[in-house]
Structure 1
Amino acid sequence: MSATASNAPALTGMRTALEQHLGGALAADALVRSWREAAPALTLPPVFGQAMEELLRRLEMSAVFAQESCSFSSSAVTDQMRKWLEKAAAV
């Protein structure tokens, strides 16, 4: 089985969690937990894990602090998370 195929179930779960969050059905902390739980099943270069953790950290921060006091918005972070998913699926 190729890495792309073996990553598909975890990436699908991560994508579903992101869509649920964007639809208002999943809180940011639950999204972060879901992604962190799915990550060990992925076979990706280390840079993907580092980038994912940075995105999750930013999402956590944007959820804790008011948008005015945060240097980035949660919508910008979720846009980057979508791009991360696309790139991870292409590996």
Structure 2
Amino acid sequence: MGANQSTLAAMRQTLDSHIAGQLPVSELVAQWRASATSLTLPPVFGQAMEELLRRMEMAAAFAQDSCSFSSTAVTDQLGKWLEKAGTV
């Protein structure tokens, strides 16, 4: 579980950088996808993460909040995903 914790911490840092406006969506998505390959989690976590990352990409492509969900809501969900992944 130690390896998961360091990877999840790096993913949290990436998310925080994005929320602070220091990292574009494309970099967040690329870094999360790359990091996820080293996680040892049940498959449902990977599926949920991928769905959230797709929503981030769609929100960015459709001028943030003109999509059916906002990028802020998705970043909140990514934060919750991190919390749950950290308890597995």
TM-score with structure 2 setting the length: 0.96
Equivalent position of 1:31 in the other structure: 28
2:86 to 68, 77, 89: 89
- Structure number with the higher helix fraction is 1
The 2-side partners of 1:10 and 1:32 are apart by 15
Q: Name the structure 2 match of 1:79.
A: 76
User: What is the root-mean-square deviation in Å for CA atoms of aligned residues?
Assistant: 0.7
Structure 2: which amino acid aligns with 1:27? P
Q: Matches of residues 54-73 of structure 1 in structure 2 within 5 Å? A: 54-66=51-63, 67-68=65-66, 70-73=67-70
Q: Which runs of 5+ in 2 are unaligned?
A: none
Rounded to whole Å, the distance in 2 between the matches of 1:44 and 1:6 is 11
- Offset from partner CA, 1:35-86 (integer Å, 9 cap, x none): 0010011000000000000000000000000222x10000000000000000
Measure, in 2, the Cα distance between the counterparts of 1:6 and 1:21: 23
Q: Does 1:10 align with 2:7?
A: yes
After TM superposition, where is structure 1 displaced by more than 3 Å over at least 4 residues in a row?
Answer: none
Distance 2:74 2:37 in 1: 21
Query: How many pairs does the alignment contain?
Result: 87
* Cα distance in 1 for residues equivalent to 2:27 and 2:37: 17
Give the superposition deviation at 1:5: 1.6
**What's the offset of the Cα at 1:6?**
2.0
Larger Rg: 1
